Structure 1
Amino acid sequence: MPRRQLEKSDPIVIVGAGAFGLSTSLHLALRGYKNVTVFDKHDYEISKYDYRSGADSASSDLNKIIRSAYGSQTEYQDLSKEAIEWWNAWNEEIRSGKDLPPGLHPEDNVYINNGTLAFTDKDELPSFELETVRNMEAAGLGGTQLITMNPDHVEVAKRRGLGYGIDPFRCEERKKGNVGVLDTTGGVVVADKACRFVLHKAQTLGVKFVLDAKAGAFESYSYDSAGKVIGVKTKDGRKHLAKKVVVACGGWTPTLVPQLDGLCETTAGSVIMLKIPHDSPLFDRFAPERFPSWMWKLWDGADGGLYGFPRDDKGWMKIGYRGRKYTNPQTQPDGTVRSVPVTRYTPEKKVTQIPQSAMKVFKHFLAEYLPELAENGIDIELTRLCWYTDSFDNHYVVDDVPGQDVVMVATGGSGHAFKYLPNIGKWIVDIMEGVEMERTLVKRWQWRALEAGVKPFNILMEGITSAKAFENVAWSTDSDLRLGSKPRL
């Protein structure tokens, strides 16, 4: 179906002010669209995208990982290169001090290029890392992926001031294997500051934001007499006409767009946060200029899938777990069971802990690789569930809803989309306009179904009988926040 051509003055509605929605609004404005409105039920002007202040979207976070390492998926490798150019440009823009949002200062960075270490407890590098090294070299980016067991690479890291990233967990000192690759193109994105920066940029370019529990909350589509979508209705009862509606609600999208059944499902990753006091000897040890972002046994199933960061300027250090992704299956009005996000801030039913199985993986890792935390009396201060939307093949979904030429989704981030905050919107607007539709990523992001006999990357919609469903999960308790004991897996 040919795409509906939009005029620059046509009203465009975006539902969701997370990474996909923010980036889309920014690039629509950069491309000259004059009538763009973003709706979100959460007032990010107040919370400033801070999870601790009540913002519970996946984008509302301390930090996210930047990496170019994508194994054989060179299309994402290229997308990362493009994104990093934007991140560096944004750092320069912030340093200029011109027209910054409240709370952001010229000395702030939204991207810290301190490297991202992918490591394992195996004796050899996983095939994913080997493919990354080969493909980065083929792309003319040789020397950016430094193998921890290669003495020449270790010397290169030291010369570049990245020696801390080769063995940040002191594996050699502890007589443990140190098998990994340091992606020197990668590092940390300061997620909450980045979102505030983009929201402000979009506003200065004329994008309107309605951030309110009623006026900004999606209630339903609006239809004409022929049943055609002509806009949205918000929970304050108002209707908003639109020539294009982009649904970009993160983990809440599959509930709002039931056509995604079988293609996408919202799943919960588990996160712990520790607080490193300024007067602790560990404050310097875990500083971003001395400690990289990292990923541990990323593709090894439930016993791996950890990732983490250096501490931030206030001492918070975050570690996440996606080795096992949990679901909250709930029967919807149409009778279908779908996973629905529930968080610490959900009005009706709240969740303030994480699954016990996730906590065991966290504590096992901390005991093995960061015992100095417990030795210095540092415990887990806060936990959260971080809701992503997984697709069955781990690729995004950026396309019109089948049978529609007004409603479009931008979703399926599958836990690896925030790094593209600067440039994913450019691609979304390209797709909206029908530009260069034969590009590999554009085709991968089209609406699709799992082919018979093909093994999915993510198994979706297992329902209430799944071991990952909340009703079948044992939950951690406050006593689990204490470190110091080594649990058995």
Structure 2
Amino acid sequence: MSPQVESKSSSIVIVGAGVFGLSTAIHLAERGYTNVTILDKQSYQDSHYAYEKERHTTDYGSLSCSHCSTADINKIIRAAYGSQFEYQTLALDAIAKWKKWNEELKTGKTVPPGFSTSDALFVNNSTVTMTTGLEMDQFEKDTIRNMDRVGLRETQVNLHNPQDVARARAKGFGFAVDAFSTSNISSVLDTQSGFVYADRACHFALHKAQKLGVKAILGGSKSTFSHFLENADGKITGVKTADGVSHQADLTIMACGGWTPSLLTQLDNLCETTAGSVAMFQLPQDKALWDKFAPENFPTWSYDIRRGKYGGLYGFARDPNGVVKIGYRGTKFTNPQTQADGASRSVPVTRWTQEAIRQIPLMASRVIKGFVRDYLPELIDCEMTSRLCWYTDSYDNHFVIDFVPDHHGLMVATGGSGHGFKFLPNLGEHVVDRIEGKKNDYLQYWNWRSLEKGAKPYNSIMEGVGSDRSLHHQAMTSLDRFATQLSRL
């Protein structure tokens, strides 16, 4: 494929300042593109991507707050990808680049306002993957085999293998070995993984992009997408924002996270917006608990992550404010709404778009509650808040990075499917390869595509209001009710 822009000075507008948009902007600038603009309706220059302006604010209407999946306190960084060797390779490359970003902070090369050279984005506190039953999950077996292919077998620790455990302790990961009672479940520790401080990582990336010359227009009507500009030949020539201003572009890239499928309706049956459920437990000022859940003493973890609606749990060490986050994606909830063209599409609903939505589905709360009861009872009496976290799932769990068919000048970068954040430092390399028409082994997975007739999708999408995953059919658990239920365990 030939390059889709004429020169490095061609104008490129990216709609969305999340992971896909930021990474694309950085790598465009690093390859010498000089006319790149990011638009996003969120005031990230004020919020610094924090989900709440202040960690425990009750001003849920604050426009300085953020409400996309990017705006979060932490995200898992894992290298394990089972049989998907290509994603393992991409993840290992991402981890290497996260370490470079840590080094940029440490050496003072890139230090955004509010950061210091003692800060870190990526924390290598390992990940513990737990699966019901003593038989190791096939995913873990495949991961071990693929890590062995690249000389990294020793990074994978079977917690039922005394030799593996001894090796993990010798490498300083004894805290992870002892974090959970795993005698009756299959458990694998990955010593090269961990988490990133998500909001700070995006703040860092935005600063890096701007330092490289990317223009960012963020917050309010001046940066809120209204509609595409189109010439007489049908070419997309940019976008108009809600304030009526036209932003001309030789190439427009839609990277709007959970809002992408409803803004770019050509994604019907390829991508859908779905919600995960998040519970955040505030630790009291108790030294024992504070120390136990510190990142240097507690691993990142997942539980029955591929076992359907009664699994799909993951969690983290505490953040600097003492918040312990547990997420649930065993059921990927939807919010189908009828749009202007008469079609029903799932759209995000957050506490900043609907005052009442300070809840998570009762199904999610019960699964989280059961795990806390069995594995982390110290959290039962902690103050807790909850929220929905909106993602964009593709039907096959692969990203979508391609030009929109029959719309010259328009590209999409989306479909994170709950595993895209880890690639913030390197995903944009591949977006730029697509723009430049370069051969790339990954892009074959991220083409514009459709589900073959009779094939079973990895993610069921576009089921509409009748789906049992629709929030229309979910009993929602209020914060007060959920907290009371936990205290009764």
TM-score by length of 1: 0.95
Q: CA deviation at 1:453?
A: 1.5
Q: Verify the 8 A CA contact 1:167 1:178 in the aligned structure 2.
A: no
Q: 1:196-254: CA deviations, max 9, x gaps?
A: 11110111111000002101100000111333211100001000110111100000000
Q: CA deviation at 1:2?
A: 4.3
Secondary structure (helix, strand or coil) at the match of 1:360 reads helix
Secondary structure (helix, strand or coil) at the match of 1:135 reads helix
Q: Verify the 8 A CA contact 1:111 1:187 in the aligned structure 2.
A: yes
Amino acid at match of 2:411: M
Amino acid at match of 1:369: Y
Q: Verify the 8 A CA contact 2:398 2:415 in the aligned structure 1.
A: yes
Counterpart CA distance in 2 for 1:72 and 1:99 is 36
Q: CA deviation at 1:171?
A: 4.1
Match of 2:29 in 1: 29
When the two structures are aligned, how many residues end up with a matched partner?
A: 476
Secondary structure (helix, strand or coil) at the match of 1:143 reads helix
Q: CA deviation at 1:167?
A: 3.3
Match of 1:147 in 2: 158
Counterpart CA distance in 2 for 1:95 and 1:352 is 38
Secondary structure (helix, strand or coil) at the match of 2:326 reads strand
> Is 1:394 paired with 2:394?
no
Q: CA deviation at 1:372?
A: 2.0
Q: 1:165-203: CA deviations, max 9, x gaps?
A: 12312345xxxx142111111001111111111110111
2:262 corresponds to which of 250, 255, 259: 255
Secondary structure (helix, strand or coil) at the match of 1:202 reads helix
Amino acid at match of 2:168: A
Q: 1:251-303: CA deviations, max 9, x gaps?
A: 00000111100000000000000111333421100110111100100100000
Match of 2:87 in 1: 76
> Is 1:208 paired with 2:206?
no
Gaps of at least 5 residues in structure 1 are none
Match of 1:188 in 2: 195
Range moving further from structure 2, 93-102 or 39-48: 93-102
Q: Verify the 8 A CA contact 2:283 2:383 in the aligned structure 1.
A: no
1:363 corresponds to which of 339, 362, 369: 369
Range moving further from structure 2, 301-310 or 123-132: 123-132
In percent, how many aligned pairs have the same letter?
Answer: 50
> Is 1:11 paired with 2:11?
yes
Match of 2:236 in 1: 229
Counterpart CA distance in 1 for 2:482 and 2:435 is 47
Counterpart CA distance in 2 for 1:350 and 1:229 is 38
Secondary structure (helix, strand or coil) at the match of 1:33 reads coil
List structure 1 segments (4+ residues) > 3 angstroms apart after TM superposition: none
Match of 1:479 in 2: 481
Residues 87-486 of structure 1 aligned to structure 2 (within 5 Å) = 87-172=98-183, 177-346=184-353, 350-374=356-380, 377-380=381-384, 382-437=385-440, 439=441, 441-477=442-478, 478-482=480-484, 483-486=486-489
Q: CA deviation at 1:105?
A: 1.0
Q: Verify the 8 A CA contact 2:5 2:251 in the aligned structure 1.
A: no
Range moving further from structure 2, 14-23 or 473-482: 473-482
Counterpart CA distance in 2 for 1:289 and 1:152 is 23
Amino acid at match of 1:469: S
Counterpart CA distance in 1 for 2:330 and 2:476 is 16
Q: Verify the 8 A CA contact 1:3 1:405 in the aligned structure 2.
A: no
Q: Verify the 8 A CA contact 1:224 1:230 in the aligned structure 2.
A: yes
Q: CA deviation at 1:471?
A: 1.0
Residues 50-61 of structure 1 aligned to structure 2 (within 5 Å) = 50-53=50-53, 54-61=65-72
TM-score by length of 2: 0.95
Counterpart CA distance in 2 for 1:471 and 1:436 is 44
Gaps of at least 5 residues in structure 2 are 54-64
Amino acid at match of 2:258: G
Counterpart CA distance in 2 for 1:320 and 1:359 is 10
Q: CA deviation at 1:371?
A: 1.1
Q: 1:444-474: CA deviations, max 9, x gaps?
A: 1000000012110000011001111111110
Secondary structure (helix, strand or coil) at the match of 1:281 reads helix
Counterpart CA distance in 1 for 2:87 and 2:408 is 27
Counterpart CA distance in 2 for 1:248 and 1:350 is 28
Q: CA deviation at 1:99?
A: 4.5
Distance 1:24 1:142, change over 3 A: same
Counterpart CA distance in 1 for 2:101 and 2:235 is 40
Q: Verify the 8 A CA contact 1:296 1:305 in the aligned structure 2.
A: yes
Alpha-carbon RMSD across the aligned residues, in angstroms, is 1.2
Q: Verify the 8 A CA contact 1:342 1:350 in the aligned structure 2.
A: no
Counterpart CA distance in 2 for 1:293 and 1:405 is 43
Counterpart CA distance in 1 for 2:470 and 2:355 is 16
Counterpart CA distance in 2 for 1:259 and 1:6 is 26
Counterpart CA distance in 2 for 1:436 and 1:25 is 20
Range moving further from structure 2, 274-283 or 197-206: 274-283
Amino acid at match of 1:259: Q
Q: Verify the 8 A CA contact 1:265 1:460 in the aligned structure 2.
A: yes
Secondary structure (helix, strand or coil) at the match of 2:227 reads strand
Q: Verify the 8 A CA contact 1:271 1:384 in the aligned structure 2.
A: yes
